[in-house]
Structures are given as structure tokens and as C-alpha cells.
């Protein structure tokens, strides 16, 4: 199964369908950037050309952007060479992958190398990441591939084997022998996954652990270690879990500082073994540690040449003692607790979380996002906005064991793709979560997003131990059976990020996202006969409408802006022509494209109601509403929206400071009402669902065209005839739905037709074969050109109107670069 290129809601739906079909599992990984290893390799062998990866080129951009940027002294003189150019007989893996295959280079990714070193201890686990059948011998084509777990799914990453070299040596990770290249190629694939090599600098070993296994991390602060930690470590290693440890730094000067006994602060080590030995008649607990530098080893008790080994049985000493300077060493468990600060254990499967019980944990995974103004509410220190964060419910029904009331579960919150964003000057956000017991009146109810008042009057039942700027925050809890709400957040409001929330429970537990159901409770409109409208309003209407006694788009714009200018307490940019056209489309019952007396009266009453709601929710009397005030105002107007729809509303109708002025508020409500009324019309059996297919589009349905008041049709399909040339004004601009088609070259002709129709107060339908790629691209381009929208704004606006649009990859790239 091949992934398709998609963004926004289409990407979410497609991703869910693919996951349901098995895509994203280790044996059926998602192909990064659509690159298929087998077909690319076969193509190279057929053409007898070595693979060159143009999506991660052998150029400075793949190295980095700052310390490893094009102007950095660290990258001056760097060449890209294939292993076959560096030595006579390069090997992929020789005699199995071992810890000594991994030596750190000029990149601060010791955290990653520590994880790779731990990976070599489990051959089955290693080959989930490093697929079998790769070598420099038979059928060599300069192409390799690796698999990584990424935020809920496995991804297959294809690379060429050109590696950065400086002064004749590999710039980054290398093997001790110099002729084994699996670790260097693995590092390159991981760099591609994250955007560049520099993006790998600095991190936590837990990141590597999770991306190599899809497992779950548990962290232990060694100054507060549990009494049975040694047995926990031993059982974890026995199961093949990955373990890492580090020493905290107290200032930037401590980073990579070497202690008196040759331990490196702020450096990631891997824990590779434990052993109990008889020493002077007593059992002594030992821990084996590895420094990915491949040198700089502990010189204290039980180090390679320490005297303690002289008092150990010779056979045990021969088995354990290692005198080579390879970065691996033993130390006593008591020294380990005293010298190191933190231990991270990556449990390979959820049932490994409880070391003494091999029980299958119930697992739920949710994809979410924090967006400015809509779902990025910050932590509990910000009560005005905390409630707008996404909310997830977990129902704990079965206690851990008979006679107990508590249920065990683990919550892991992970922020997505932050390393890729380093090039843009962004890094990890500070994240955490809080857990609340569901109030009795909402137990069993999923279609509710708890509001501000609840969080002001209820304390949390549990919370993450820290808000911290790591990729993942996780904690284990024991709470009485019941229903709980998990609220993940950034520490400060208005910080944007995507996240994955994973919930593991020892016994089966139901979990789901808590979000408002999309509904509209629109007050019934009172349509009066002309005889029922008072004389004063009639007189006003005659003055405004002119001789034809109807109000056009232009006249409505003039009227509303003249009236709103008298309300000095309102901040507004004035109503635009498109907003006024939306109002007329909503109120125009006779299809004239203008408003008569009764229609204008209904609109007038509606606007007065909107004005009252706006003032009621302008809490600080600033003349505008904040985005979180907007959500409550929409609720008061009768519209309950889920998080995704509200994000689109905020993107479209707020100013840069996330404020909403009166004209945008009115336009938003008018368009929402139009959307809900259209849906209700199409929902002929009133079951809350409508069926829309790709091919039964409006262009060939005369009833739909009339219902939508279409006057002009722009046909951008290939080989599709105009259906009703006698009834509508047509324009045909033939274009092929191919990535290489220069769609922007057709824009001037298309936009001229749309603008001419608009000047005649017409309604234009833009159509192609399926209404997915070509027509959507034209409309997105039109909004970018005429409405001065960004690509993201225009794409979201069109997708909100037609959720299954998806321009082909070539059109998407052109639109992103389009600068009208």
C-alpha cells in the first residue's frame, strides 16, 4: 500500500484509514517521501547507476544550518564519499553488529549513539531497524534503507551511501575498525528523517530508544531510586529493554566536562549489563556502562585496571574484565547511584512495564495539536485559557486485582517533529499534562468539551511530575476506578506544536477524545409580511434601496459600514464585498441576488442579535474579542464546534494578535449558518449524514446548480463537455492533472473569468473531473491572489468547504511557492 500526499484533515483521515489497513506497522512501514527501496534499487541495477538521493542531497544543506552550516569552519573542506571510495573492501556488518561499531564523530549526538549501542544487544530488535539483505557485495547499487518508529507508525527511510568526510575520515559516527559502515549509514538515515545532521545535536537517549522500538520510556531519578532498582535493571536487560543514563549539568560550563574519575557530565551513556560477583566474601552488585565516544572511561572502583578485580575469582575476572580502551567499563551499583543522575528504561512492549507481571496492557494512541488562539491554552497557571486545550477521557473500570479499588495506567505525551523545526529557529516546547476526575453529570458522555468554570472549581487528581522541554513526558499512576480527563498542554499558552498522547492501562480501559459534537441551534427567523413591518423601517429601506427597492451587494456594504462607523466602541475594518455577498446568499430567498424589504428586515434583526452577543463576550470592553472569548460567543450564537473546525475559524477570522473584530464575527456567523443550512438541505433523511462522491459533482446536476444559485461555470477538466451551455455562462480552460503541469500559468485566464462573474454579482462553480485537484488548486490560487491569503489559510478555507480536496504533489509545491 502506498501513502498519498495529503495535508490537513485529508491527511488525518488518510492516515487513519492506512493505519486501520495495517500501514505503519514494522512489516509494512510507511515509505518516507514516497521512496520505495526495492523499486529504486531495481532501477539502479537495471541502469547500472549508483543511487543518488536528490531528496537528501550530498550538499551542505543536509549537514546543517548553523554550527554545521555552509559557512561553518566545521564543514569547510567536507567531501561526500561512498564507502567504496574510502576503502578497498567496505563491509556493511561484519560478524554481527556490536557496540564497538559505534564511535562518535564531530556531532553532539551521543544520546543517539548510546541508543544504537543498546540496540546491538538484541539482534531481533536491531534488524527491525536495520533490515536484512544489505551489503556492499552482491547487487550493490549505492542504496540502503532503515526503519524508525515515528509518532505512532514505522517509517522506511531510503538513503544513498555518500557520507560526509573531512581530512580523509568520516565526519560523524564511525566504527573502530573503519571498514564497517552500518552505523554511519543508520545515522545518515536518521538525519534525513529529522531534516539534517545538525538537527541530531543534543537530546535524550529516550528519543533514540523509542524511535528504534516504538516502546515506552520510564525515567528514574537516581537520587530517589526505588529500593528494587537493581532488580528492575536486571530484568529489563534480560527482556532486551534499552537503558541509558546521564549526569545532570548545573551550568553551560558543565556540558561535556570530565569529572575527576573520568565521567562526562551532560553526556549520554548506555547501560549494557549487570552482574553480581563475590568480592572479599560478600556479594557485590556491578553495572556495565558504555560511553559512545569509545574512550574516556571511568577510573574509579571496578574500572578496567582497578585493584578490585584482583580479589575476584579468576574465571569470573576473565569473563568480565575488559582492559581495552573501548569506552565500556564496570562500576559498583552504589557508585552508579552516587555518580549518575538519571536512568531511562525503554520497555520494548507495553507488557514489559510491570517487571514482575507479564500482562498485556491496553493501549490507546491519539494524534493532537496545539494551535494559537484555538487549542493552545497553556498549563493550569493560565485559567482563562487552560480549558481550550484538547481533552481526552479514559474510563478505568477494572481494578488491578480483586479486593483493590485502584487501577494502574501510564500516560505518555510526546511532541512531534521538533527537530525538523530547528532549522526555523524552533526547538522543544515545555510540555506536561493534568488529569481530572470526570464530574458525575458528564460520566458516560463523550460529546462534551469541559469549559473554564469546571477547571476553576475542581482540583486535578494527578499530573505529570514535570513540565519539561523534552520530546516526551510520561508518568505512571494508580487511581480509583472511574472516568478521568487528561489535558495535555504546553507550559505557556499560544505555543504551537503537534503531539501524540499514548495511554496504557493494565486492564482493558476505554478511552476517547473529549470534544464538542458539531451542532447548530439557530433561532427560528420571524419573517414578517410587508404590512407587519413598521413604517419607520420601511422609510429607511426606501432611502437605502433606491428606486428598484432592492439592496445589492455594493449597497449592503455601504449601508453596514455607515452604520457600524457610528458605534465607536467597536473596532472594525469594515465589511468587505465578499462578506456582504455571503449575507445576501444566506438571506436571498427568491434567487434575485439582492435583498427585498422582508429579507433585509430579517438580516437586520440577525445583525442586531450578533451585536448583542459580541458585546456580551467582549469581556474587557476592548471593542474586539479574544479567540477564547470567540469560542464562547459562537456557543451563545447556537454553534457548537469541535477543535478542528474552531482552528479553521480562528485561522480565517482573527487578526495577527488573535483578536476578532465585529465585521469578522458577523461574517463568520453568516457563513456558519449558510453551511449548516446547506447541510440540512442535503441531509434529506435527517440522519446527520450526507453522502458526497468524487464523481457525482454539481457540474452535472441541474438541481444542485440552481440550488447554489450558480450563474457561471469554470471548467478546468480535460475532455469533459459543458453540461448546460444554454443555461449558464461557461469558460473552458483545459489542463492535465499531472504534477509537471504548470498550473499557475492558467491562473490569469481563470481569475479574469471569476472576477468578471463577480462584477455581475454572479456565482461561479469551478469544476474538474472529481473536484479534488485541479479545481481546488485554482480556487486556492484565487484566494491567495484576490484575498491576499497565505497558502495555509487558502488551503484550509477550501478544505473546510470541500473536505476531500487534495491537489497533486506538483500542484501543492507550485501553490506553496506562488507569490501573486
pLDDT tens, residue by residue, 361-417: 577 888 899 999 999 999 999 999 999 999 999 999 888 777 778 888 889 999 999
Question: Which one is the CATH code of 530-682: 3.40.50.300, 1.10.238.10, 3.40.50.720, 2.60.40.10?
Answer: 1.10.238.10
Considering only residues 86 and 238, tell me which one the structure prediction assigns the higher pLDDT: 86
Catalytic (active site) residue 267: yes
Which whole number is the average pLDDT over 597-613? 90
Residue 145: per-residue pLDDT? 98
Work out the number of other CB atoms within 10 angstroms of the CB of residue 227.
Answer: 6
C-beta of residue 420 within 8 angstroms of C-beta of residue 150: no
Question: Which one is the CATH code of 361-515: 2.60.120.380, 3.40.228.10, 1.10.10.60, 3.30.365.10?
Answer: 2.60.120.380
Question: What is the average pLDDT value for the chain, to the nearest integer?
Answer: 85
Which of 85-89, 604-608, 677-681, 763-767 is predicted least confidently? 677-681
Residue 250: per-residue pLDDT? 77
Residue 738: per-residue pLDDT? 81
- Tens of pLDDT, residue by residue over 516-533, are 888 888 887 777 777 777
Distances from the Cα of 650 to the Cαs of 656, 666, 720, in angstroms? Answer: 10, 14, 38
Which whole number is the average pLDDT over 163-178? 88
Catalytic (active site) residue 407: no
Burial of 420 per CB tally in 10 Å (0-12, 13-18, 19+) = middle
Which whole number is the average pLDDT over 11-18? 56
| Placement of cell 552488585 in the chain | 285
Give the residue among 276, 275, 542, 491 at the shortest CA–CA distance from 389: 491
Question: Which one is the CATH code of 216-347: 3.90.70.10, 3.40.50.880, 3.20.20.30, 2.10.109.10?
Answer: 3.90.70.10
Q: Which CATH architecture has domain 698-817?
A: Alpha-Beta Complex (3.90)
Query: First and final CA of the chain: distance in angstroms?
Result: 37
- C-alpha cell, 358: 507479564
Residue 20 has pLDDT above 70, yes or no: no
Give the three-class secondary structure for 645: helix
State what percent of residues in the chain have pLDDT above 70. 90
Domains of the chain, residue spans:
21-213, 216-347, 361-515, 530-682, 698-817
Which of 35-39, 617-621, 806-810 is predicted least confidently? 806-810
Which of 274-283, 454-463, 525-534, 733-742 is predicted least confidently? 525-534
Catalytic (active site) residue 785: no
| Placement of cell 430567498 in the chain | 589
Considering only residues 294 and 420, tell me which one the structure prediction assigns the higher pLDDT: 420
Distance CA 372, CA 495 (A): 6
Distance CA 582, CA 758 (A): 12
Residue 454: per-residue pLDDT? 95
Q: Give me the DSSP letters along 352-384.
A: GSSTT---PPEEEEEEEEE-TTTT----TT-TT
Q: Residue 15 — pLDDT band, cuts 50, 70, 90? A: low
Considering only residues 426 and 771, tell me which one the structure prediction assigns the higher pLDDT: 426
Q: Residue 486 — pLDDT band, cuts 50, 70, 90? A: very high
Catalytic choice (44, 122, 196, 267): 267
Which whole number is the average pLDDT over 749-762? 89
Catalytic choice (44, 110, 750, 768): 110
C-beta of residue 600 within 8 angstroms of C-beta of residue 537: no
Catalytic choice (122, 291, 347, 769): 291
Residue 336 has pLDDT above 60, yes or no: yes
Residue 383: per-residue pLDDT? 94
Sign of CA dihedral 566, 570, 574, 576: negative
Distance CA 811, CA 605 (A): 44
Residue 694 has pLDDT above 50, yes or no: no
C-beta of residue 572 within 8 angstroms of C-beta of residue 662: yes
Residue 489: per-residue pLDDT? 98
Residue 17: per-residue pLDDT? 58
Amino acid at each position: 500500500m502506498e501513502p498519498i500526499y495529503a495535508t490537513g484533515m485529508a491527511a488525518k483521515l488518510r492516515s487513519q484509514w492506512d493505519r486501520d489497513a495495517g500501514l505503519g506497522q514494522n512489516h509494512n512501514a510507511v515509505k518516507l517521501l514516497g521512496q520505495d527501496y526495492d523499486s529504486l534499487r531495481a532501477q539502479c541495477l537495471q541502469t547500472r547507476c549508483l543511487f543518488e538521493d536528490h531528496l537528501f542531497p550530498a550538499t551542505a544543506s543536509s549537514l546543517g544550518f548553523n554550527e554545521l552550516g555552509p559557512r561553518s569552519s566545521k564543514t569547510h573542506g567536507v567531501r561526500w564519499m561512498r564507502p567504496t571510495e574510502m576503502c578497498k573492501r567496505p563491509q556493511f556488518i561484519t560478524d554481527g553488529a556490536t557496540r564497538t561499531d559505534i564511535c562518535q564523530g564531530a556531532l553532539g549526538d551521543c544520546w543517539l549513539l548510546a541508543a544504537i549501542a543498546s540496540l546491538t544487544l538484541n539482534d531481533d530488535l536491531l534488524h527491525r531497524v536495520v533490515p536484512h539483505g544489505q551489503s556492499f557485495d552482491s547487487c550493490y547499487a549505492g542504496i540502503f534503507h532503515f526503519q524508525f518508529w515515528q509518532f505512532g507508525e514505522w517509517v522506511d527511510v531510503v538513503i544513498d551511501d555518500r557520507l560526509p568526510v573531512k581530512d580523509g575520515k568520516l565526519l560523524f559516527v564511525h566504527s573502530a575498525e573503519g571498514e564497517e559502515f552500518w552505523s554511519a549509514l543508520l545515522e545518515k538515515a536518521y538525519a534525513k528523517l529529522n531534516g539534517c545532521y545538525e538537527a541530531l545535536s543534543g537530546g535524550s537517549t529516550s528519543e533514540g530508544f523509542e524511535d528504534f522500538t516504538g516502546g515506552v520510556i520510564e525515567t528514574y531519578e537516581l537520587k530517589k531510586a526505588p529500593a528494587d532498582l537493581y532488580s528492575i535493571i536486571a530484568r529489563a536487560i534480560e527482556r532486551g529493554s534499552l537503558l541509558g543514563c546521564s549526569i545532570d549539568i548545573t551550568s553551560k560550563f558543565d556540558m561535556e566536562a570530565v569529572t575527576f574519575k573520568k565521567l562526562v557530565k551532560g553526556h549520554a551513556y548506555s547501560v549494557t549489563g549487570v552482574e553480581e560477583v563475590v568480592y572479599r566474601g560478600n556479594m557485590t552488585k556491578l553495572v556495565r556502562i558504555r560511553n559512545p565516544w569509545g574512550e574516556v572511561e571511568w577510573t574509579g572502583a571496578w574500572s578496567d585496571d582497578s585493584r578490585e578485580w584482583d580479589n575476584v575469582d579468576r574465571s569470573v575476572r576473565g569473563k568480565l574484565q575488559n582492559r581495552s580502551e573501548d569506552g565500556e567499563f564496570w562500576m559498583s551499583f552504589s557508585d552508579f547511584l552516587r555518580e549518575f543522575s538519571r536512568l531511562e528504561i525503554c520497555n520494548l512492549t507495553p507488557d514489559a512495564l510491570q517487571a514482575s507481571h507479564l500482562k498485556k496492557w491496553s493501549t490507546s494512541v491519539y494524534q493532537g495539536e496545539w494551535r494559537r488562539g484555538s487549542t493552545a491554552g497553556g498549563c493550569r497557571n493560565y485559567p482563562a485559557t487552560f480549558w481550550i486545550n484538547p481533552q481526552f477521557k479514559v474510563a478505568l473500570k477494572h481494578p488491578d486485582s480483586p479486593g483493590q479499588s485502584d487501577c494502574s495506567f501510564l500516560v505518555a505525551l510526546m511532541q512531534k517533529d521538533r527537530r525538523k523545526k530547528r532549522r526555523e529557529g524552533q526547538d522543544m516546547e515545555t510540555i506536561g499534562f493534568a488529569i481530572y476526575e470526570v464530574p458525575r453529570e458528564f460520566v458516560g458522555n463523550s460529546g462534551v468539551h469541559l469549559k473554564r468554570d469546571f477547571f476553576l472549581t475542581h482540583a486535578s487528581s494527578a499530573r505529570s511530575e514535570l513540565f519539561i522541554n523534552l520530546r516526551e513526558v510520561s508518568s505512571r499512576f494508580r487511581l480509583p476506578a472511574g472516568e478521568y480527563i487528561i489535558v495535555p498542554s504546553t507550559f505557556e499558552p499560544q505555543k504551537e506544536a503537534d503531539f501524540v498522547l499514548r495511554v496504557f492501562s493494565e486492564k482493558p480501559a476505554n478511552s476517547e477524545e473529549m470534544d464538542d459534537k458539531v451542532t447548530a441551534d439557530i433561532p427560528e427567523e420571524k419573517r414578517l409580511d410587508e404590512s407587519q413591518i413598521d413604517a419607520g423601517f420601511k422609510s429607511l429601506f426606501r432611502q437605502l434601496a433606491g428606486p428598484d427597492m432592492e439592496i445589492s451587494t455594493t449597497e449592503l456594504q455601504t449601508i453596514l459600514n455607515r452604520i457600524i462607523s457610528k458605534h465607536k466602541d467597536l473596532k472594525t475594518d469594515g465589511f468587505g464585498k465578499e462578506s456582504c455577498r455571503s449575507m445576501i446568499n444566506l438571506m436571498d430567498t427568491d434567487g434575485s441576488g439582492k435583498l427585498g424589504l422582508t429579507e433585509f428586515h430579517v438580516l437586520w434583526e440577525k445583525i442586531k442579535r450578533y451585536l448583542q452577543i459580541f458585546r456580551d463576550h467582549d469581556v474587557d470592553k476592548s471593542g474586539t474579542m479574544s479567540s477564547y472569548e470567540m469560542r464562547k460567543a459562537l456557543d451563545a450564537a447556537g454553534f457548537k464546534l469541535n477543535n478542528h473546525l474552531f482552528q479553521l475559524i480562528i485561522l480565517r477570522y482573527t487578526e495577527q494578535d488573535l483578536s476578532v473584530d465585529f465585521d469578522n464575527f458577523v461574517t463568520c456567523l453568516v457563513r456558519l449558518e449558510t453551511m449548516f443550512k446547506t447541510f440540512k438541505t442535503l441531509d434529506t433523511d435527517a440522519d446527520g449524514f450526507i453522502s458526497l462522491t468524487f464523481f457525482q459533482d454539481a457540474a452535472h446536476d441541474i438541481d444542485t446548480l440552481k440550488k447554489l444559485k450558480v450563474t457561471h461555470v469554470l471548467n478546468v477538466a480535460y475532455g469533459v463537455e459543458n453540461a448546460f451551455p444554454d443555461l449558464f455562462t461557461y469558460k473552458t480552460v483545459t489542463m492535465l492533472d499531472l504534477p509537471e503541469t504548470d498550473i499557475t500559468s492558467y491562473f490569469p485566464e481563470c481569475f479574469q473569468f471569476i472576477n468578471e462573474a463577480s462584477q455581475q454579482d454572479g456565482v461561479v462553480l469551478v469544476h474538474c473531473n472529481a473536484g479534488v485537484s485541479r479545481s481546488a488548486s485554482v480556487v486556492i490560487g484565487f484566494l491567495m491572489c484576490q484575498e491576499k491569503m497565505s497558502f495555509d489559510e487558502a488551503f484550509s478555507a477550501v478544505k473546510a468547504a470541500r473536505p476531500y480536496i487534495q491537489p497533486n504533489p506538483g500542484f501543492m509545491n507550485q501553490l506553496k511557492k506562488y507569490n501573486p
